[in-house]
Amino acid sequence: MNFYQFKQQLFDLACFNINQVYAWKPDFNRTNLTRWLKQGYIIRLRQGYFAFPEYKNKPDYARYFANRIYRPSYISLQTALSFYGMIPEAVVQFTNITSLKTAVFFNEFGEYSYKSIKEEFMFGYEPKFIADGRTVLFATPEKALLDLLYLNPFYNSEQDFLELRLDEDYMQDELNQELLIKYCSQFQNKELKKRVNLLLKTYKL
């Protein structure tokens, strides 16, 4: 197999998996991937998923891969909160929500963490456009915050919420309280509702 031909066929996918390779070439010899990995021609994102190293120099592709290597999923939690400017910290890890089992993957693009929730709670996300017209699924600000509270029930006091260091201007001016409450009601969880109300009280909303 000629690597140049292989790259021409798959490069525009950015992220590809072994099934896509076999769909193109049913007789593909998988040992080629092992050789090209050792030579640095391709990068393993996780078992069976790969990318070309040129994408390390392209903006936003590390985020783009988050949705592709573990599906269904969307970016949420600290990564989304940082993206919206709701927390001051720059987040190194890509934090995601999935209906699959909890998982973590390490590769040359970063650390990808996936937290599991029930399938019926997989809502409140939307596509964000990135480079080359591609899209990445991000939780809305309200759902990212709700996912965080749902998965971390130890946030249950005013002091805990203050230690989240949520941006007060964002909370006052941009957070959609009605949407947050609507999303919360879909969980049908009394304890979560109490903590959401306490969060709103803490930030005087």
Q: What pLDDT, in 10s, does the model give residues 64-116?
A: 999 999 999 999 999 999 999 999 877 789 999 999 999 999 999 999 999 99
Instruction: Identify whether 6 is part of a domain.
Output: no
Q: Give the pLDDT score at 90.
A: 75
Q: Give the pLDDT score at 204.
A: 87
Instruction: Identify whether 189 is part of a domain.
Output: yes
| Average of per-residue pLDDT values in the chain | 96
* 93/24 same-domain check: no
| Distant-in-sequence contacts of 10-15, Cβ < 8 A, 24+ apart | 10/52, 11/52, 11/54, 14/51, 14/52, 14/55, 14/61, 14/64, 14/65, 14/68, 14/134, 15/45, 15/49, 15/50, 15/51, 15/64, 15/65, 15/68, 15/69
Q: How far apart are CA 66 and CA 79, in angstroms?
A: 11
Q: What is the tally of structural domains in the chain?
A: 2
Residue range 119-126: mean pLDDT, rounded: 98
User: Quick check: 3 pLDDT over 90?
Assistant: yes
Over pLDDT 90: what percentage of the chain?
94
Residue range 14-34: mean pLDDT, rounded: 96
pLDDT digits (tens, 9 = 90+) for 47-65: 999 999 999 999 899 999 9
* 86/110 same-domain check: yes
* 103/68 same-domain check: yes
Residue range 146-175: mean pLDDT, rounded: 95
* 143/49 same-domain check: no
* 18/85 same-domain check: no
Instruction: Identify whether 23 is part of a domain.
Output: yes
Residue range 161-179: mean pLDDT, rounded: 95
Instruction: Identify whether 1 is part of a domain.
Output: no
* 51/65 same-domain check: no
* 99/147 same-domain check: yes
* 24/83 same-domain check: no
* 100/134 same-domain check: yes
* 51/145 same-domain check: no
Instruction: Identify whether 5 is part of a domain.
Output: no
Structural domain for 65, as ranges: 61-202
Contact 73, 67 (CB under 8 A): yes
Over pLDDT 70: what percentage of the chain?
100
| pLDDT top residue among 131 and 201 | 201
Query: pLDDT tier at 189 (50, 70, 90 boundaries)?
Result: very high
* 82/52 same-domain check: no
Query: pLDDT tier at 148 (50, 70, 90 boundaries)?
Result: very high
* 47/138 same-domain check: no
Contact 63, 130 (CB under 8 A): yes
